[in-house]
Structure 1
Amino acid sequence: MQLDQLKLANREATLARVAEVINRQSSAGAQLLLEIRGQSLTVQAAIGDTSLETGDWVKVMRAGNELQLMGKLAQTPETTISRALAQRLPWQQSVDAGLARILTTLTGGARPDSVAPTGTPINNPPQPLPQPVRQAIEQLISRLPSSQSLTPGAGTQPGAAGQLRQWVEESGLFAESRLARAPQAALPDLKLAIGRVITALLAQQGSGPDAFNRFTPLASPELVQAPLQFPNTFPPPPPQGSAEPTVGQMLRLLAGMLNRITVNQLHSQILSTRTTAEAPTPVSTMLLELPWLNPNNEPRIAQLRIEQDPADSGQKTSGTPRATEWRLSLAMDLDEAGPLHFDVSLRQDQVSAQVWAEKQSTLRQVREDLPQLRKGLSDIGLDVVDLECRRGTPRGANTRLEHRLVDTRV
């Protein structure tokens, strides 16, 4: 019996989370999927006037062979985050594609938004960007890493660790926390820099920040198709035409880019607070994207997932406490080498790594470089436990929230 498996005594109360409202019934009842003590349980519940939604926490009590609903707890931060995430999912713009379109305006300008008296859009010729807008875009682009910074062996150079830390810090994932610490500073941060471009564009139109809410964000098709996959391995659509965007299109692109960064922030928060029966202690998770410039100054994206699995989150083996483990996944699609995926695990001074490549020529080159990588890791005092390269992509590389946690129809 499932109630016995929960080890819930008669008349004992406990908390349960509404994982899914399966079916709302007209007789003030509903079929619910509850998460109780790490297990899932489908129940028929008489909820009366109580409004229950996915993510709500309720108090239940065992009464013989039944569960009684005692009441609903106040809304949790996780629920608030989930709903904010669901609202932004359909409106994500790939950061590299958005930056590419914005970059064209530095040389080609932007077309003014205007319509004829009949309501038909007027195809105005492009005009140079006003200097404040141009300066804001140039400042944003100047902070992006270039391919020269990512050449083989660059990671061993003095200051490389600090440079990598700076790229992560300025990715936009920590924008609000950095701004809270220095509210008056013009911080070098991707999300804040995009906001400064938006502010400059609106100011040139004589509009304030509130006018930005009128613009519907432009979404990338691959992010609409798989809004929570990270890394997103769907191929991007063919490049759009070279026609200069209008000012309104620029604002819509920027709105979608902001949504993409915010989705990664919210997704990270939910993953960092989720617990399971196997991992009762949350695994701190960061999902972030680092835009960079290839030799042709075209924007590209590196997708990173960083996890810190604390020492007490897993089972102890042989009476020895489990050490904290750091895991890093990095996905990039290079112009000549093709898609590459790196999985690295570090526990104390032991490191293991797998490299995945889709192109056979790239696979061959990576295998030739593995001895150099092993030596570099050993030189900094790490014990290389496992180091291999495989063709293809790792199984389970795409991570997503369970659909019952976030209702994407919201």
Structure 2
Amino acid sequence: MPQQGVSAAAPAKESAGSNAALLLQARIQLDQLQIANRATVLARVAEVLQKVEGQVDQLVLDLRGKPLTVQAAIGETRLAPGDWVKLMRVGNELQLLGKLAATPEARIAQALAQHLPWQQRLDSGLAQLLGAARNGVRPDVPGPGKPPLLPLPEPARSAIQQLIARLPTQAGLATAPTLNDTQPGFASNQIRQWLTESGLFAEARLGRSPDPALADLKLALARVVAALATDRGTANSAEGNPLNRLTPLTSPELVQAPLQFPNLHPSPAPISRSEPVTVAQMLRLLAGMLNRVSVNQLHSQTLSARTTADGAPPATLLLELPWLTNAGEPRIAQLKIEQERENREQQETSARKQVAEWRLTLAMDLDDLGPLHFDVSLRQQQVSALVWAERSTTLNQLKAQIGELHRSFSELGLEVTDLDCRKGQPSGARTQLEHRLVDIKA
């Protein structure tokens, strides 16, 4: 194979003195990484810093848990963040021997990058679907003047109604029994059901039970697509899935910050004020909503699978739960659930007593109370909770009820180590993939 190398040495245009100094620095770096001359090593491409006329100019490698910035001359070989490469030290350079087959992490990152630019908010998307089911749709081919709205085809309207019927409601949440009521398992079972049907586990549930009628947000959106496609006569056409031929409708705020989670935005306009859409626009809207669910699925996998210098990262689930207000308006609750996992050394020293730590972040925007963030941590019998409110009136209400929350935790046999209410939002509330993990411009 042609000579292909990566080196911490200076470019050829540097002066002799500067070049010698950088060569010495490169040798020191390679010695610190304990790479002997002619020895081979595996490294992961963490970041592509520069590209000049299609050729990689500079890379950041994750080599033995440490970042190493290198100049690169790799010929026809194409490298992207997440790729694994085999290198050999030759003097003060690392010679590229080859690129390993794509890892599951790299494939997940690639799929995530493909979905990122095409996300539609679930709450505003559901509001548009509800408006179409109640009020009808505009004709795909506009006529003279302002043509009347057409009723949505019955199969599609029925699919939307079934989807909405499965969503939690504000009234239902307010009247649900607590853990201390006569049905102690009701609340936890109901929450578990909502999480299961959030769309995050759609493919896994289908793998266990290939029932197309499973109660699941992602599958329910797909059923609306199928109903609309059947009415348009495209479901079984040679062109295949109609979504493949449509550009998804996107939400600008998700395009500007595609990986931030949670990421609350102002509530969508009431359904009565939403502009009617055509069937074609509904399909584009649904495509964007399905992309949003897929991004949360892939984002969860990437966060859980990424390698860190401190060992295994926490198992992470990111999901959005749509719910309905008393006025029937869709809203979103964003949840991040993390389980801290011990690395191998910790497991060997504490094999007899595994201690799991769970962390929950819940963010939602309530019409009467405004944006709220909840951070809860549970380790064995110890619990801590912080509640953040952006409105001063809401903060005062929370402080007045914090004693009741403390008593509820105590009645469950938990030791409260920290419990507080604060104004604003937590600075660490957002989970954002490092730009080194996913190149969203690729």
TM-score w.r.t. the length of structure 1 is 0.92
CA-CA distance at 1:162 after TM superposition: 0.3
2:335 matched to 1:304? yes
Q: What stretches of structure 1 of length at least 5 have no aligned partner?
A: none
Aligned match of 2:20:
none
Give matches, 1:212-227, under 5 Å.
212-227=243-258
Instruction: Please tell me whether the aligned partners of residues 127 and 270 of structure 2 are also in contact (alpha carbons under 8 angstroms).
Output: no
2:194 matched to 1:167? yes
Instruction: Please tell me whether the aligned partners of residues 342 and 354 of structure 1 are also in contact (alpha carbons under 8 angstroms).
Output: yes
Aligned match of 1:135:
158
Q: Which moved more, 1:11-20 or 1:250-259?
A: 11-20
Which of these residues, 255, 278, 283, is aligned with residue 246 of structure 1? Answer: 278
2:378 matched to 1:351? no
Aligned match of 1:387:
419
Instruction: Please tell me whether the aligned partners of residues 350 and 383 of structure 1 are also in contact (alpha carbons under 8 angstroms).
Output: yes
Which of these residues, 189, 196, 199, is aligned with residue 226 of structure 2? Answer: 199
Which of these residues, 227, 238, 262, is aligned with residue 231 of structure 1? Answer: 262
CA-CA distance at 1:106 after TM superposition: 2.2
Distance 1:239 1:143, change over 3 A: closer
CA-CA distance at 1:350 after TM superposition: 1.1
Aligned match of 2:49:
22
User: Counterparts of 2:231 and 2:175 in 1: how far apart (Å)?
Assistant: 43
Instruction: Please tell me whether the aligned partners of residues 45 and 83 of structure 2 are also in contact (alpha carbons under 8 angstroms).
Output: yes
Structure 1 residues 247-268: Cα deviation after superposition (integer angstroms, max 9, x where no partner): 1111111111000000000100
User: Counterparts of 1:219 and 1:9 in 2: how far apart (Å)?
Assistant: 51
User: Counterparts of 2:69 and 2:146 in 1: how far apart (Å)?
Assistant: 58
2:66 matched to 1:39? yes
2:148 matched to 1:125? yes
Instruction: Please tell me whether the aligned partners of residues 315 and 322 of structure 1 are also in contact (alpha carbons under 8 angstroms).
Output: no
2:167 matched to 1:144? yes
Structure 1 residues 157-185: Cα deviation after superposition (integer angstroms, max 9, x where no partner): 43000000000000000001101111134
Q: Percent of aligned pairs with the same residue?
A: 58
2:391 matched to 1:337? no
Structure 1 residues 134-168: Cα deviation after superposition (integer angstroms, max 9, x where no partner): 11011000000000232287442430000000000
CA-CA distance at 1:386 after TM superposition: 1.0
Structure 1 residues 7-60: Cα deviation after superposition (integer angstroms, max 9, x where no partner): 334433221111122234579763211111221111123323322222211012
Distance 1:213 1:115, change over 3 A: farther
Distance 1:105 1:48, change over 3 A: closer
User: Counterparts of 2:304 and 2:333 in 1: how far apart (Å)?
Assistant: 21
Distance 1:37 1:149, change over 3 A: farther
Q: What stretches of structure 2 of length at least 5 have no aligned partner?
A: 1-27
Instruction: Please tell me whether the aligned partners of residues 222 and 236 of structure 1 are also in contact (alpha carbons under 8 angstroms).
Output: no
2:117 matched to 1:94? no
User: Counterparts of 2:392 and 2:141 in 1: how far apart (Å)?
Assistant: 51
CA-CA distance at 1:314 after TM superposition: 8.4
2:318 matched to 1:287? yes
Q: Which moved more, 1:14-23 or 1:244-253?
A: 14-23
User: Counterparts of 1:70 and 1:331 in 2: how far apart (Å)?
Assistant: 47
CA-CA distance at 1:84 after TM superposition: 1.3
Give the counterpart letter for 2:282 in structure 1: M
Give the counterpart letter for 2:97 in structure 1: M
Which of these residues, 109, 115, 118, is aligned with residue 82 of structure 1? Answer: 109
SS at match of 2:294: helix
SS at match of 1:366: helix
Stretches (4+) displaced over 6 A: 26-29, 313-316, 318-322
User: Counterparts of 2:415 and 2:30 in 1: how far apart (Å)?
Assistant: 47
Instruction: Please tell me whether the aligned partners of residues 352 and 385 of structure 1 are also in contact (alpha carbons under 8 angstroms).
Output: yes
TM-score w.r.t. the length of structure 2 is 0.85
Q: Which moved more, 1:125-134 or 1:170-179?
A: 125-134
User: Counterparts of 2:327 and 2:345 in 1: how far apart (Å)?
Assistant: 46
User: Counterparts of 1:382 and 1:24 in 2: how far apart (Å)?
Assistant: 54
SS at match of 2:241: helix
Aligned match of 2:136:
109
Give the counterpart letter for 1:249 in structure 2: Q
CA-CA distance at 1:373 after TM superposition: 1.0
User: Counterparts of 2:93 and 2:199 in 1: how far apart (Å)?
Assistant: 48
User: Counterparts of 1:392 and 1:266 in 2: how far apart (Å)?
Assistant: 29
User: Counterparts of 1:38 and 1:338 in 2: how far apart (Å)?
Assistant: 43
CA-CA distance at 1:123 after TM superposition: 5.1
User: Counterparts of 2:155 and 2:306 in 1: how far apart (Å)?
Assistant: 43
Distance 1:29 1:177, change over 3 A: closer
Aligned match of 2:301:
269
Give the counterpart letter for 1:70 in structure 2: L
Structure 1 residues 249-305: Cα deviation after superposition (integer angstroms, max 9, x where no partner): 111111110000000001001000012112x11321100000000110100000000
Q: Which moved more, 1:8-17 or 1:283-292?
A: 8-17
Give the counterpart letter for 2:169 in structure 1: S
Distance 1:148 1:4, change over 3 A: farther
Aligned match of 2:398:
366
User: Counterparts of 1:140 and 1:27 in 2: how far apart (Å)?
Assistant: 47
Instruction: Please tell me whether the aligned partners of residues 264 and 364 of structure 2 are also in contact (alpha carbons under 8 angstroms).
Output: no
Instruction: Please tell me whether the aligned partners of residues 266 and 365 of structure 2 are also in contact (alpha carbons under 8 angstroms).
Output: no
Give the counterpart letter for 1:67 in structure 2: L
Greater gyration radius: 2
